[in-house]
């Protein structure tokens, strides 16, 4: 918690503030105010509650006479929730500022260092529909190109595991994991629609259909995304899993799902209405959408929409989906590992670096995820009978993934050596955090 404000100050000192004060005075003043408010709140916290680490199980046991302590919490929350788009050269200040405030708020919530009223206000602020949109947008705001922390391997995390283990996501993930399932789904849906193009964000928070022109790949997905948004909003408002609503969603989305599933049986086919590049873009979006549905809504949609596994070949959709998904997931984890290596090589030795131990732990997760996917892929293949395996191997789409997945595995030792050269030492393969 204290380290986060130190990092923010270090980042602030590392910027030529005079260069931005004229055009971006408001943003610079917010950074200054954040440092001042956080330090002030930390001082009040220690004066009232003592050294960090003491937990009050019941808010009635807290010291009396909190004075303006609650006001300071609310002021920090107001600063946090105001949206502003910082210019690229000082974008990293905004990320450090958000993380600094979030670490303090998370600490207060974890140890119940506030009145019951203020704790309820914090919970309500993040779990409301507007708060969930804010969380999605706060995550998205990190992943801007041509910024201090950007490199070509930085990609938006689209699922819970990658959000949990993304380098810059620790404070925001702590907020996310305190949400209910339907609220988490809503946050991840915000990331999914961002993957479909930044201009679509406003479109999908509305009940009305799309009215603006979008790329072909996005246009194809819009009807399904609107159905998903309607279903997820209903789950959010009821606060519980609704089997009837889920059945209705799968029925309503049947044609969309059938179209997405069909590609796995005819991976070499490109619809005549699309160019090759357009279709590759469409397939990428379909993959992300289908993964979200599988993990967040339900994996039994094949049965629910009335399609038999044997409809289009002895190797059913489940095998085909897993075959592709395991490889695709390894590619994503490898990109995160490459980002980690490049980020560390740029920032190690600077004031705002992440510690080598933390980077080593994160690198261990990435390596284990990739190796786990590879072993699962091998197990999937070895579990197929000869007829199903021959059927899959006769399709270059699937056959090439075996070679490419092996290539990913063979590239890992060099990446480990690159990390060790920077003083970062991942744990042995298979090690758990």
Q: How far apart are CA 67 and CA 278, in angstroms?
A: 60
CA 87, 90, 91: angle at the middle one, nearest 5? 70
Q: Where along the chain do its domains lie?
A: 1-171, 180-307, 318-421
The answer to whether 126 and 135 are in contact (CB under 8 A) is yes
**What pLDDT sits at residue 217?**
72
Looking at 21-115, list the stretches that DSSP marks H as alpha helix, in order from N- to C-terminal side: 25-49, 69-81, 91-110
Q: How far apart are CA 305 and CA 262, in angstroms?
A: 13
Instruction: Look at residue 151 and give its three-state secondary structure.
Output: coil
The answer to whether 125 and 131 are in contact (CB under 8 A) is yes
Q: Residues for the chain: how many in total?
A: 433
**What pLDDT sits at residue 17?**
86
Q: How far apart are CA 280 and CA 242, in angstroms?
A: 35
- Nearest C-alpha neighbor of 323 from the set 365, 406, 379, 372: 379
**What pLDDT sits at residue 411?**
98
**pTM of the entire structure?**
0.91
Which letter does DSSP use for residue 61 in this model? G
Task: Kindly give, in sequence order, each residue whose CB lies less than 8 Å from that of residue 7, ignoring residues fewer than 6 positions away.
Answer: 96, 99, 100, 351, 352
Residue 240 class from Cβ within 10 Å (0-12 exposed, 13-18 middle, 19+ buried)? exposed
Taking 70 as the pLDDT cut, the residues of the chain under it are 52-67, 198-211, 268-272, 304-314, 351-353, 428-433
The answer to whether 369 and 432 are in contact (CB under 8 A) is no
**What pLDDT sits at residue 301?**
81
- Nearest C-alpha neighbor of 183 from the set 237, 107, 221: 237
Tokens describing residue 175: 């907020």
pLDDT in tens, 384-426: 999 999 999 999 999 999 999 999 999 999 999 999 999 999 9
């Amino acid at each position: 918690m204290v380290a986060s404000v130190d990092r923010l100050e270090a980042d602030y000192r590392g910027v030529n503030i005079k260069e931005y004060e004229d055009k971006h005075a408001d943003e610079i003043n917010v950074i200054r105010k954040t440092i001042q408010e956080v330090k002030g709140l930390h001082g009040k916290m220690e004066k009232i509650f003592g050294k960090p680490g003491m937990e009050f199980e019941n808010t009635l046991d807290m010291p009396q006479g909190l004075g303006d302590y609650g006001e300071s919490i609310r002021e920090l929350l107001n600063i946090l929730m105001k949206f502003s788009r910082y210019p690229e050269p000082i974008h990293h200040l905004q990320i450090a500022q958000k993380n600094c405030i979030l670490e303090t708020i998370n600490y207060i919530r974890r140890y119940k260092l506030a009145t019951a009223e203020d704790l309820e206000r914090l919970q309500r602020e993040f779990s409301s529909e507007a708060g969930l949109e804010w969380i999605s947008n706060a995550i998205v705001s990190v992943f801007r190109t041509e910024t201090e922390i950007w490199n070509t391997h930085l990609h938006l995390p689209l699922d819970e595991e990658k959000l949990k283990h993304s380098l810059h996501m620790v404070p925001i993930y702590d907020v996310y994991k305190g949400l209910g399932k339907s609220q988490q789904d809503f946050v991840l849906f915000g990331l999914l629609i961002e993957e479909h193009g930044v201009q679509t964000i406003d479109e999908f928070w509305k009940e009305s259909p799309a009215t603006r022109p979008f790329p072909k790949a996005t246009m194809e997905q819009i009807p399904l995304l609107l159905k998903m948004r309607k279903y997820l909003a209903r789950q959010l408002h009821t606060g519980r899993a609704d089997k009837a609503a889920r059945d209705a969603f799968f029925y309503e989305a049947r044609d969309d799902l059938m179209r997405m599933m069909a590609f796995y049986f005819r991976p070499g086919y490109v619809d005549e209405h699309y160019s090759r590049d357009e279709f590759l873009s469409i397939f990428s979006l379909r993959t992300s959408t289908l993964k979200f549905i599988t993990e967040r809504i339900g994996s039994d949609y094949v049965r629910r929409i009335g399609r038999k596994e044997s409809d289009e070949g002895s190797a059913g959709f489940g095998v085909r989906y897993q075959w592709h998904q395991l490889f695709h997931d390894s590619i994503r984890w490898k990109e995160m590992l490459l980002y980690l290596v490049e980020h560390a090589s740029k920032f190690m030795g600077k004031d705002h670096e992440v510690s080598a131990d933390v980077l080593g732990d994160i690198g261990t997760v990435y390596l284990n995820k990739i190796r786990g996917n590879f072993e699962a892929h091998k197990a999937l293949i070895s579990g197929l009978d000869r007829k199903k395996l021959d059927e899959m191997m006769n399709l270059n789409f699937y056959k090439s993934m075996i070679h490419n997945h092996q290539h990913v595995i063979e590239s890992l030792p060099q990446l480990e050596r690159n990390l060790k050269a920077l003083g970062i030492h991942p744990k042995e393969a298979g090690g758990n955090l």
